[in-house]
């Protein structure tokens, strides 16, 4: 086989592979997706001792998952650029509840060596998890949450 033919076949293979890979969504696109699939704002939600998972949606919003089947879209009062480099987050609470306007996201640095900052929560909206899971399955987007594998799944 000639070099020219080999290069042509490799180019075609690369093109087919690129077309078969679903496009990655930007943080802004993910934020709009969650906004479209979130309910009306709520004042607060019950927070377990440890979140099931979370995902930054740019520097002014995130999803916080209290279980595999319950998540909330948290929009922040200000930009929180520290989320881009965070390895984990925590939420401040009052009586085991996270409240809009009162509580904050605590951004943790990699390696657990202290926090990078606190970002006040402006609004809380419950996520329609059924629709989100169906959409994710359709898009083959497997990175729904950054989840600690040491925490077992909750019973269904």
pLDDT of 105 higher than 80? yes
Domain ranges, residue 67: 25-139
**8 domain residue, yes or no:** no
Indicate the pLDDT class of residue 135, thresholds 50, 70 and 90: confident
Beta bridge partner(s), residue 125: 73
Look at 97 and 129; give whichever has higher pLDDT: 97
Closest CA to 75 of 126, 121, 128: 121
Q: What does the pLDDT look like over 38-55, one tens digit per residue?
A: 999 999 999 988 899 999
Question: For the chain, how many structural domains are there in total?
Answer: 1
Q: List, for residues 11-26, the tens digit of each pLDDT value.
A: 554 544 444 445 577 8
CA atoms of 146 and 35, how far apart (whole Å):
19
Tell me what pLDDT residue 122 has.
Answer: 98
- Are 117 and 105 within 8 A, CB to CB? no
* Residue 4 maps to a domain: no
Based on its alpha-carbon atoms, the radius of gyration of the chain, rounded to whole angstroms, reads: 19
The reply to whether 15 falls in a domain is no
The per-residue pLDDT for 82 is: 84
Within a domain: residue 69?
Answer: yes
Q: What does pTM read for this prediction?
A: 0.71
Q: What is the mean pLDDT of residues 87-91?
A: 89
**How high does pLDDT run on average in the chain?**
78
Q: Specify if 71 maps to a domain.
A: yes
Handedness of CA 131, 132, 133, 136 (dihedral sign): positive
Q: Is the pLDDT of residue 123 over 90?
A: yes
- Whether 82 is covered by a domain: the verdict is yes
**107-134 mean pLDDT:** 83
Measure the CA–CA gap between 122 and 75, rounded to whole angstroms: 6
């Amino acid at each position: 086989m000639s070099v020219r033919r080999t290069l042509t076949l490799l180019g075609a293979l690369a093109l087919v592979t690129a077309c078969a890979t679903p496009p990655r969504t930007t943080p802004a696109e993910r934020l709009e997706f969650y906004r479209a699939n979130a309910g009306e704002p709520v004042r607060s939600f019950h927070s377990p001792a440890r979140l099931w998972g979370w995902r930054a949606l740019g520097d002014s919003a995130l999803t916080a998952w209290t279980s595999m089947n319950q998540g909330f879209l948290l929009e922040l009062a200000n930009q929180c650029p520290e989320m881009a480099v965070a390895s984990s987050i925590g939420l401040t609470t009052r009586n085991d509840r996270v409240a809009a306007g009162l509580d904050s996201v605590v951004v943790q640095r990699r390696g657990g060596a202290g926090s990078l900052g606190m970002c006040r929560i402006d609004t809380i909206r419950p996520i329609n998890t059924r629709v989100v899971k169906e959409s994710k399955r359709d898009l083959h987007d497997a990175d729904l949450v950054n989840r600690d594998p040491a925490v077992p799944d909750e019973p269904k």
